[in-house]
Structure 1
Amino acid sequence: MSLTLAECLARKDNDLAAVRILAATAVLHAHAWVVTTPGVKTEDFFHVFAFSLDFHGVHAFFILSGMLLTRSLMERPDALRFVVARLMRYLPGIFVSATVAALIVGPLATRLSLADYFAGGAPFAFIAGVTSLLDINAPLPGVFGTGGEPGTLYIPLWTIHYELVFAIALAAIWALGLMRLRWLVFAGLVATLAVALVWFWHGEAHLRLGTPHHLVRFCTAFGIGVALATFADRVPVSGRLMLAVLLITAPLAYSPLAALAGMALIAYGMLWIGFKGGPIAHALARLGVWSYGFYVSGFLIEQVLAHAFPGWSAWAVFGVAFALSIVAGGLSWRYVERPAIARTGYVTAALRRLPALRKVEPGDRPASVAPRD
């Protein structure tokens, strides 16, 4: 007898982190060509189910985030703490990585003198711009001015910008009580899928529109995740259903329905890997814990390798960058991310002491008592 998704999520022990490392690796793989091949575009990569593999990796991130963030709010309906947790999860790792880039990598790699490099405080403006996600494409003076993607050190962070916005929007919708109306969640999903169906009927024909195109695909992926969490008690998790989803979606891989078929396959494949994946998924999940630092610093590492060894192929850059990104991810988790997450309760309690927030959630514990995580 198969378990429902709600029952699987209630067990807490799962291998969903395996999905994160697989998705991050797909992005790192594509970016190895970006840093080594001038002029390469998304259209040049292998496409299936309407998108390149790195785009599918990003969709997996958004589906998983939509599901887990909604589940988090369901288990602990505290909108303020939820937003603080997202900020503590995302920003400290970016800040440390950007600081290393600006104060260690930059001075070693710049073609300028150190006096010119630090003139006007440019490295510190870089740290602020990248950490705040307001200017993720900020350059460092005289650093990486040539190559496949000159001047850019943190190209993957644009997706984290969307994730953070979606998380805050989700918290606001929850605070308004709208997420408790299951019929409204279902109606929202139907509307989102309808828009996606029309938008992606011809694949990525609208890719050059930029933000609107990405909003449609990210909203679709995130919305699927929200629906999975909302209707988790109705979603069975089984190998037979995984096979059925595969058999139904595979013939649609190059049809006008390819985009939605691909997201459906990713969504259910994510559940199968996370709860039925076995020893391989369990081993990948151990690496997946480090996937955020891997994702944040991976492109920077690839840029360093591409400029230090200009004769290397994309495959060589990818292979070495993968190993170094695992190390970076492990260090980030151990010394930056986990300690920051542990402070979520204390930061939330401190914010509740502010007069403007003191009466936002009257049912909460007194602000003088810091909740334990």
Structure 2
Amino acid sequence: MVTGETATEPLMQETGYTLGHLSVNVFFIISGFLIAQSLQRSKDLIEYFVARFLRLVPGLFVTAIVTAFVIGPFMSELGAAGYFSQLATWTYVPLTSSMLIDNGELPGLFANAPSAFEVNGSLWTLRWEAMAYVGLALLGSAGLLATRLRFGVFFGLFLAIYIAITMWTDLRETIGAVDHIMRFGLCFLLGTFAYVYRKKIPVTLLIGLPLVLLPVLLRETGVYQLALVLAMGYAVFWLAYVPNGLVRKFNGWGDFSYGIYIYGFPVKQVMISLFPQLDAATLMLIASPIILLLAIASFYLVERPSMRKRGELVSRIRKWKPLNAREQTASSPAE
């Protein structure tokens, strides 16, 4: 991100993927685990989708406001007057928070950054996250999450399709949507698999260390990405549950992951624009505490208060539901 060239990105030479790419994969793995838990605990799909909406949209809405009306006028090369005279300034918030656009531009913002005019390059994945929520609900409605066996068979079928498409076709290279479905589907469903089989999967270094070595051995094969995702997924759950639960203790203060995700890119763009001489390590050192503070504020001021409105919003939606056929018949005048 510092130079705009992926070849110089952290971890690119070591893994073949950028730090951002790998972070998104981890995000989807964790999401698959937590969303499967949310679906199981929800009384119905109304409660499930309300929870998903409140988890994504309010924080995204505020991020868009901060970006457009706090960062924008100060960082745009057009100046405040020119910036606010552009229609794109005023449409950015509704288009971004509704996920109708992937990575909308703001007039003159970050024009001289290596990733020129990119305002929040991370947000494009949220649309795929939302689609994963819908997909999991469909799996649940079809009964494929009812037993470990059913989901295991489904996951095995997905893996077979994933391997076949990856190894024996060029669909992932030629059609972006296919690549995204395979990549995000693998990560999200792996997290779901971890939740469904959580009582059956041992979390130990005896399994973790061989899994970490697997991508090294398969680096030049068509299943390298699969091996890397499996290794990262297992490592994530090992870190969360084994070393005295340090990650969980940190999460006891609040779930700041979403805030880090939605504020990370624009904060780094600001830093790069202000201090173009920064190298990658210094950028991370300076930007990380700022991003974390914004994520903490997002959680306590926006995300958690919004989630606490879930019960009230669910009740209101249920009251709006159309009367069922029997109620409609009973309430209609006799002919």
Counterpart pick for 1:297 among 255, 258, 263: 263
> Once the two structures are superposed, what CA deviation does each residue of 1:159-210 show, in whole Å capped at 9, x if it has no partner?
22211111122123323433225444222211221232234449x9945642
| TM-score of the pair, normalised by structure 1 | 0.78
Letter aligned with residue 292 of structure 1: Y
Supply the RMSD in Å over aligned alpha carbons: 2.9
How big is the shift at 1:312? 2.3
Counterpart pick for 2:217 among 251, 273, 276: 251
Q: 2:108 aligned with 1:142, yes or no?
A: yes
Q: For structure 2, which runs of at least 5 residues remain unmatched after alignment?
A: 328-335
Q: 2:99 aligned with 1:133, yes or no?
A: yes
- The residue that corresponds to 2:202 in the other structure is 236
Letter aligned with residue 281 of structure 2: W
Distance 1:221 1:266 in 2: 10
- The residue that corresponds to 1:41 in the other structure is 6
Counterpart pick for 1:101 among 63, 67, 70: 67
Quickly say closer, same or farther: Cα 1:225–1:171, change in 2 above 3 A.
same
- The residue that corresponds to 1:219 in the other structure is 185
- The residue that corresponds to 1:260 in the other structure is 226
> Once the two structures are superposed, what CA deviation does each residue of 1:267-287 show, in whole Å capped at 9, x if it has no partner?
222221111023654565467
- The residue that corresponds to 1:25 in the other structure is none
Counterpart pick for 2:296 among 327, 330, 341: 330
How big is the shift at 1:296? 0.4
Letter aligned with residue 270 of structure 2: V
Contact 1:51 1:259 survives alignment (8 Å): no
SS in 2 for 1:145: coil
> Once the two structures are superposed, what CA deviation does each residue of 1:37-71 show, in whole Å capped at 9, x if it has no partner?
14x13696625566444322222211221122112
Distance 1:125 1:279 in 2: 43
Within-5 A mapping of 1:113-132: 113-119=79-85, 121-132=87-98
Distance 1:263 1:285 in 2: 23
SS in 1 for 2:145: helix
Quickly say closer, same or farther: Cα 1:115–1:250, change in 2 above 3 A.
closer
Distance 1:164 1:278 in 2: 33
Within-5 A mapping of 1:1-373: 34=1, 36-38=2-4, 40-41=5-6, 46-47=12-13, 51-119=17-85, 121-180=87-146, 182-201=148-167, 206-207=172-173, 209-246=175-212, 250-278=216-244, 280-281=246-247, 285=251, 289-356=255-322
Distance 2:245 2:137 in 1: 35
Letter aligned with residue 223 of structure 2: L
Quickly say closer, same or farther: Cα 1:334–1:117, change in 2 above 3 A.
same
Contact 1:48 1:254 survives alignment (8 Å): no
Contact 2:240 2:246 survives alignment (8 Å): no
**Which has the larger displacement, 107-116 or 47-56?**
47-56
Q: Percentage identity across aligned positions?
A: 26
Distance 1:325 1:337 in 2: 16
**Which has the larger displacement, 58-67 or 41-50?**
41-50
Distance 1:136 1:83 in 2: 21
Quickly say closer, same or farther: Cα 1:181–1:198, change in 2 above 3 A.
same
How big is the shift at 1:258? 1.8
> Once the two structures are superposed, what CA deviation does each residue of 1:231-284 show, in whole Å capped at 9, x if it has no partner?
233222334333343455553344433222112212222221111023654565
Distance 1:232 1:279 in 2: 16
Quickly say closer, same or farther: Cα 1:359–1:205, change in 2 above 3 A.
closer
> Once the two structures are superposed, what CA deviation does each residue of 1:130-155 show, in whole Å capped at 9, x if it has no partner?
11111132111122222211111111
SS in 1 for 2:110: coil
**How many residues get paired?**
325
Quickly say closer, same or farther: Cα 1:178–1:286, change in 2 above 3 A.
closer
- The residue that corresponds to 2:333 in the other structure is none
Letter aligned with residue 40 of structure 2: M
Distance 1:231 1:359 in 2: 37
- The residue that corresponds to 1:15 in the other structure is none
| TM-score of the pair, normalised by structure 2 | 0.86
Distance 2:213 2:109 in 1: 49
